[in-house]
Structure 1
Amino acid sequence: MQNSYRQGYFAKRALLPQGWAHNVRFTIQNGLIYDIAPDSKEQNQDVLLSGPVLPTLANLHSHAFQRVMAGVAEVSLNPSDSFWSWRDLMYKVVQKLTPNDVQVIATQLYIDMLKAGYSQVGEFHYLHHGVGGNAYQQPAEMAMQLLQAADQSGIGITLLPVLYSHSGFGGQIPNAGQVRFIHSCDSYLALHHACEKAISGDRSNDVRHKLGICFHSLRAVTKEQIETVLESLNKSMPIHIHIAEQQKEVQDCLNWSGLRPVQWLHNEIGLDERWCLVHATHLDNSELNAIASSNSVAGLCPTTEANLGDGIFPAVAYENAKGRWGIGSDSHVSLSVIEELRSLEYSQRLRDQQRNRLHCAAQNHIGDHLFQQALLGGNQACDVSLGLALGNRADFMVLDSKHPFIDASESKDLLNRWVFACNENLIKDVFVAGQQVICDFKHEYEESSQKAFTQVIKKIMYK
């Protein structure tokens, strides 16, 4: 998937890093933005983009296989339903999935992400082995299925193979529901090298795909394992980990170590800009400041965190400390950029009983501020450069100019209108690395992918 020739595009208005610009002409070559010029004239052979043009975003946290169970856990079977009871259902689903099932689920998921305005996905991948925990003949079989799904859909993937070894703090023996996830340090490093070969070898000319390092959680790995992996692998890759998602996790960590999870990670391992701390919902002030001052990214998944009853991330205090954040769709109960951003802002309003919580001195329009923070944090966490700027990957989306709010709004109000007033999908066209993957709301393989996904849902959930 590579644009080896130059192609010009023309937009009547586009969101550049410095703000909205008009009559923007940009040229794409080799999947990158070769030239960009506001206040220009459309030239012959230019592709006219028929609506406001925005950068696409990186979805920094995904468990692709969980899409198949979205919506079926909304049944009250326990007066104390929580994340932990939801996890029991997830473990049952995991036992049924084949590699082909995972590819089908991920392909449809990634098409839906593209339609929602995500052009990169951080795939937090821990379903490694066959039923019973036996390794596949190709140990990276499941990871290869995810890469193929990304290739088929046209999305960029930051593949995050996960080290998952234990069921609880202090190296506890994994339970039966976790056997398909489990790796030792040695087998994990072999998996990681296989993934690196697939991306840097077979797909070396593809500017979309990246690789990172991933630890499931402090529950699932030991200090020695973290240190061994970080010492053994490329020291420029992003590092992702689930952390402080649930109060029980925080209490278990205190019982084990005397420290809270982020406090332990900061003190014992150290944080820097490579780290993406997924959820980080339950923080004290010292932990909040540790993340912010280290330039790590908080990986926020507002719709999943709400669905699971995790809690409310302290985003106002975190932004006041200059903390960085991005968004992910995690379990995929929602695949809407605007719902993630809106949910984050509204959670702060509900907690504080005030309006307009997330903004900064340079930007008092809430929608614009949320979008810009999600763009920057997603870029950092997924090791990509999205945004309409010279040298960045040529990923962008076009909003539907036929919608009254889009057609009538002045640029200063456009993102607020889109984020806070529109529930329908208004993303008409999407381009990834210069290639159009969504055209007039449709994907080339959408019909066949939906049919295959329907059959997998029936097989996994209803047989």
Structure 2
Amino acid sequence: MSRETSLFCPSVLLTEGWVENVLLRFDDRGVITTVERGAQPGGTQARGPVVPGLPNLHSHAFQRAMAGLAERAGRTEDDFWTWRDTMYRFLARFTPEGLQAVAALLYLEMLKAGYTSVAEFHYLHHDRDGAPYADRAENSHRIVAAARETGIRLTHLPTLYAHGGFGGRAPTEGQKRFLHTVEGLLGVVESVRRATAAEPSVRVGLALHSLRAVTPEKLHEALAGINSLDKQAPLHIHIAEQVKEVEDCLSWSGERPVQWLLNHVPVDSRWCLVHATHLTPEEVTRLAASGAVAGLCPTTEANLGDGLFPAVDYLRQGGVFGIGSDSHISVSAPEELRLLEYGQRLVARRRNVLRVGSEDSVGAGLYRAAVAGGARALGLSAPGLEVGAPADLVVLDADHPKLYGRTRDALLDSYLFASGSDCVRDVMVAGRFVVRERHHPSEDTLLARYRRELDRLLAVA
């Protein structure tokens, strides 16, 4: 995958809007140095309309291998907690080699689906018996290796998981592979930072699994530790995903999860609050004002029966959001945004609900907002396609029957609401085409390795 020096775009969605006949020039790191309007065709030319690639702000790569395997009705009512038990049993089988095989196939799928970057919320730290590997960052290095193999841009988020419930409750047997001290987790962060220091396509931050999994003391200790390494590092946390979580937090502290976090932690634009499904109107207002990103994962939230984020009020107050595929029950950038809008339509019983700012086009408004919010959550230098931003872009197939005859914002409306990932033609990350004509150069090799790993995982009793 050689790096291009420029790309002529017959039509491109820049930060300012749609522009025709634009030449994008890149430096040797794959960063945009020039945006020349009114250019003449020449050199490498995009074979369709160009849009910025979407950041995927929330991923648990290992869960790709179990997607669809928890869709059996139990003897009790199924919810997030019964799904979690299935997940615990499945992840007990993973090896570092298997994790890399699954992550690489997933990241290839993301690229072909219109994502150009991913935030990996990584808490599968240890061996199957809960003991650390000889290299305590072994599985983190496997995630980085999978990103390298595919060419996706990675924000790696080693995750602090210390307890089994609010108030420092003892962990369960199923959580033994996740557990870390603050010191141990920061050691993983430092190890990955050292190993990727020369790689501009890898960013390292830190995640707190949830308020359930850390005490206030450990939370603040972890934040002090990451700030000593990088005061701009992205910070992510699962929060207020389920009603039971909210109820348990109230019992523990007298405050709801988002309320507690905003009252006790200086939440700002470095933060991504993943899910944040169950909010009061006051929490909506405070979260929107904080500058933090609401990390929404509509296909996973629907699959788990979590509930619906109060998106209408949040966007009305200028809240920032991005999207993620989380458990990878679906890996499709347009599907996440489509389901986000459709969920709100079902509640409101009307159409075209999530209007972003003054945008008339619902699809274009949601797409632009998800690009900007995702870039913030991943700690990228700039959102969208502009000077100083990474050359991470998607070329859509304007000849596809679902997009034919559409231009500009109408193209994005049809891409989100009447088509899908099959309309992604080419994908560029950091100035390199990693997908050409819907094909990745390592696709056959990575798929064969993934199938071998699935044969092993599914054969284990």
Please list the CA deviations of residues 75-131 of structure 1 after superposition, one character each: whole Å capped at 9, or x if unmatched: 112341000000001000111000000000000000000001111110000000001
Please tell me whether the aligned partners of residues 2 and 433 of structure 1 are also in contact (alpha carbons under 8 angstroms).
no
Distance 2:269 2:117 in 1: 19
What is the aligned residue count?
455
Taking the TM superposition and a 5 Å limit, the aligned residue runs for 1:19-58 are 19-30=17-28, 31-43=30-42, 46-58=43-55
1:400 aligns with 2:397: yes
Measure how far apart 1:359 and its partner are: 1.0
Give 3-state SS (helix, strand or coil) of 2:72's partner. coil
1:173 aligns with 2:201: no
1:123 aligns with 2:116: no
Measure how far apart 1:2 and its partner are: 8.0
Q: Who is 2:408 aligned against? A: 411
Q: Who is 1:187 aligned against? A: 184
Letter in 1 for 2:103: A
Please tell me whether the aligned partners of residues 125 and 140 of structure 2 are also in contact (alpha carbons under 8 angstroms).
yes
Q: 1:378 aligns with which of 347, 371, 374?
A: 374
Q: Who is 2:206 aligned against? A: 213
Please tell me whether the aligned partners of residues 213 and 237 of structure 1 are also in contact (alpha carbons under 8 angstroms).
yes
Distance 1:20 1:405 in 2: 20
Q: Who is 1:335 aligned against? A: 331
Give the TM-score normalised by the residue count of structure 1.
Answer: 0.96
Q: 2:435 aligns with which of 434, 438, 454?
A: 438
Distance 1:273 1:462 in 2: 44
Measure how far apart 1:220 and its partner are: 0.2
Q: 2:70 aligns with which of 69, 73, 85?
A: 73
Taking the TM superposition and a 5 Å limit, the aligned residue runs for 1:236-255 are 236-255=232-251
Letter in 1 for 2:449: A
| Residue identity (%) | 45
Measure how far apart 1:407 and its partner are: 3.4
Measure how far apart 1:195 and its partner are: 1.6
Distance 1:315 1:401 in 2: 30
Give the TM-score normalised by the residue count of structure 2.
Answer: 0.97
Measure how far apart 1:424 and its partner are: 5.4
Letter in 2 for 1:231: A
Please list the CA deviations of residues 208-265 of structure 1 after superposition, one character each: whole Å capped at 9, or x if unmatched: 1101111000000011111111112222111000000000000000011110000011
Letter in 1 for 2:279: L
Measure how far apart 1:461 and its partner are: 2.3
Unaligned runs of 5+ in 2: none
Letter in 2 for 1:38: R
After TM superposition, the runs of 4+ consecutive aligned structure 1 residues lying more than 4 A away are none
Measure how far apart 1:361 and its partner are: 4.0
Measure how far apart 1:404 and its partner are: 3.2
Please tell me whether the aligned partners of residues 254 and 260 of structure 1 are also in contact (alpha carbons under 8 angstroms).
yes
Question: 1:396/1:281 Cα in 2 relative to 1: closer, same or farther (>3 Å)?
Answer: same
Please list the CA deviations of residues 407-453 of structure 1 after superposition, one character each: whole Å capped at 9, or x if unmatched: 31132311001111114511110010001100110001111111111
Distance 1:78 1:37 in 2: 62
Q: Which moved more, 1:16-25 or 1:300-309?
A: 16-25
Please list the CA deviations of residues 282-327 of structure 1 after superposition, one character each: whole Å capped at 9, or x if unmatched: 0001111111111000000000000000000000011111110000
Measure how far apart 1:268 and its partner are: 1.4
1:356 aligns with 2:355: no
Measure how far apart 1:362 and its partner are: 2.3
1:156 aligns with 2:153: yes
Unaligned runs of 5+ in 1: none
Give 3-state SS (helix, strand or coil) of 2:266's partner. coil
Give 3-state SS (helix, strand or coil) of 1:425's partner. helix
1:229 aligns with 2:222: yes
